[in-house]
Chains A and B, each alone.
Chain A
């Protein structure tokens, strides 16, 4: 897999930090570039994201479960009561994960590959318990999510995203899951809430006055 190609929009060289990246944005012409096999395709233009207070930015790095990661992409979502970021992490072993940051509450999650059929979001009552990898996950929140935009490199394309449902699952020990209905069939992310200090992050944004 080539790490560098020319932007189909403006011809500028486009670098991929992560070999498995599917979507990125051209830093020069703001084209949304999707990689199909070896070809790059322009599928639209990125919109500027609204101002954001997250201390994390693309290029920030940190540690989770003794594995180093670099932040290479970002998804911005909104829901009825606010907005949050899903930072796309590339780990030192080339695996990928997500660091969600909702009002500076942080959680790290990974796509859970074991297949399971989840009922549609409309049929999923709060309080429903799923037995997943030896733990009981209870549905606590059902959220209508609005996709705002992205930055950097992602493992999938967001060109078809607008609104979708998610179901939040919780355990008794601060692990969590998200059933993501943006894809069919829905996919499950599993992870846990983390203390910001424990991530030992570097390359963070600084705040004037702090």
Chain B
């Protein structure tokens, strides 16, 4: 191999890419939540999204 360092660099990049791809990384920003109360099923209104309080963009011209 003429460029051992570059080849190694490329292999690491592609390896990392494959691993990230395998793990499904690089998705949209979402918040992982734990221990969601079961009551959400019965009463969806009690659950408040983390995003509900964020400033929103009120689009349009």
Judge A-B direct contact (beta carbons within 8 Å).
no
B-side interface residues toward A, CB under 8 Å? none
A-side interface residues toward B, CB under 8 Å? none
